[in-house]
Amino acid sequence: MSKIDTALFFTSSVIEFIGRQTHNRREVVVDALGTDVDRIYHYADVFHCEPIEKVADDFIRRNNIRQGDYDNIASCQYAVPSYWDIGKVFARLIRDCHPEDLLQGLRMVYHSFLANRITNFNSDLYYQPPDYLALCYHGGKIVED
């Protein structure tokens, strides 16, 4: 993984962790973080030296992120993927669909219909191949067989 991919992976994982902690949809987290998304991305190698719990808590408090009502973990009927696993899914999707501007791509991907579908852990979407997710993202819908 290149340095850019590592930073994107860490940023996406922090967004997922904060979403789980605050029970917010991931686009709500991205909006609440505002320019701190860029800060997390650009200083990922520094933030990665601390436990993700502390990094997330610092950004939750810094941005006054309130508790929401989206608890995709409690509603999951199956094994819950780790925040690192979901961070990897989002990082690949962003890299594959927006290689020219990763941070703008991050915002676009998290605001797409696909973000909420990926975080529905009762579906199989989050572990589909990256090229399938990119096809769904660009097509604006889930591709049916």
For the stretch 91-122, pLDDT in tens is 999 999 999 999 999 999 999 999 999 999 99
Domain boundaries, the chain: 3-139
Query: What secondary structure letter does DSSP report for 34?
Result: T
pTM: 0.94
- Report d(CA 133, CA 88) in Å as an integer: 13
Cβ atoms of 86 and 119 within 8 Å: the answer is yes
Segment 5-28, tens digit of pLDDT = 899 999 999 999 999 999 999 999
145 pLDDT exceeds 60? no
